[in-house]
Amino acid sequence: MGIADQAFDIAEDWDAALAALAWQVEAGADEAIGDAPVNRYELAAEAPKPVAARPAANPVAAEPMAGADPVATARAAAAQAQTLDDLRAAIAGFDLCELKKGARNTVFADGNPKARVLILGEAPGAGEDREGRPFVGRAGQLLDLMFAAIGLSRTSPDAATALYIANVLPWRPPGNRDPEPGEIAMMLPFVERHIALVDPQVIVVLGNTPLLALTGTKGILRARGNWSEALGKPLLPMTHPAYLLRTPSAKREAWADLLSLQARLRG
């Protein structure tokens, strides 16, 4: 009597059968067998011939995305957006970024679109993906405290004291990994159009991803606090609040950057 026969002779109910199966796996059984030997050469001889696959009636319709250039497609879609609502719909309808398939929500923006200051972050995290808003976790709470210290808030109705917040990527990368260059490139036309529609006085980039997207350079620790220009706007690089949570000693430099922003707005 084989292992399978012994196991199923004692299996009087579902739980016993499941336990027997687990025991077989632990014993090294990896294939179901019967009582009689099988001549696999005869089976091969009797195997039916494979049927040739029929060509698709319309190959183009079967693969509508084949050969599409995601950057060119994004640029065309972004250019058609005349309002922020148009842009939100264009991003939500963009299907060439794989990140969208694993995301719960498209994270568009938060804050007052009439604000003088636009903050550009990297990508949504788990909390942002759940709520559909940028910067809602611990890093977002720290961001709110930081900018409140110089009189700015995402909830302010007054453009002079308001913030507008967006990300380079509207969908969460799996495992909160860093965005890949191809993902940044295909979403950049939407970012540029977003900034053009909001038309802020100042852009603040938080972290390496938005710094790379708008300036083509990395090294946020070297760039932070140094004003430059992007898309015709003054640009201030700052370290991401998540970095400040991991490295509290860097908060002194972040405070200096906030004071620099405050002075620029007053000037």
In a domain, 170, yes or no: yes
**What are 134-191's pLDDT values in tens digits?**
999 999 999 999 999 999 999 999 999 999 999 999 999 999 899 999 999 999 999 9
Q: What angle do CA 137, 126, 75 make, to 5 degrees?
A: 105
Reply yes or no on whether the pLDDT at 15 is more than 70. no
pLDDT value of residue 267:
84
Reply yes or no on whether the pLDDT at 119 is more than 50. yes
pLDDT value of residue 53:
40
pLDDT value of residue 10:
39
In a domain, 60, yes or no: no
Q: In whole angstroms, what is the distance from residue 136 CA to residue 129 CA?
A: 10
For residues 158, 135, 236 and 221, what is the CA-based torsion angle, rounded to 10 degrees?
160
Share of the chain above pLDDT 70, in %: 75
Mean pLDDT confidence for 222-249? 97
How far, CA to CA in Å, does 12 sit from each of 3, 21, 29, 33?
16, 13, 21, 21
What are the tokens at 161?
């004291």
Evaluate whether 96 touches 182 at the Cβ level (below 8 Å). no
In a domain, 194, yes or no: yes
In a domain, 182, yes or no: yes
Give the residue numbers spanning the domain of 181. 69-266
Q: Is 74 exposed, middle or buried (0-12, 13-18, 19+ CB in 10 A)?
A: buried
Phi, psi of 237 (to 5 degrees): -80, 140
In a domain, 62, yes or no: no
pLDDT value of residue 58:
34
Q: In whole angstroms, what is the distance from residue 252 CA to residue 250 CA?
A: 5
Domain count, the chain: 1
**What are 66-98's pLDDT values in tens digits?**
568 999 999 999 999 999 999 999 999 999 999
Q: Global pTM? A: 0.75
Q: In whole angstroms, what is the distance from residue 217 CA to residue 209 CA?
A: 9
pLDDT value of residue 63:
35
Reply yes or no on whether the pLDDT at 198 is more than 90. yes
pLDDT value of residue 83:
98
Q: Residue 22 — pLDDT band, cuts 50, 70, 90?
A: low
Mean pLDDT for the chain?
A: 84
Q: Residue 242 — pLDDT band, cuts 50, 70, 90?
A: very high
pLDDT value of residue 237:
98
Q: In this structure, what CATH number is given to the domain that contains residue 90?
A: 3.40.470.10
In a domain, 33, yes or no: no
In a domain, 220, yes or no: yes
pLDDT: which is higher, 28 or 155: 155
In a domain, 119, yes or no: yes
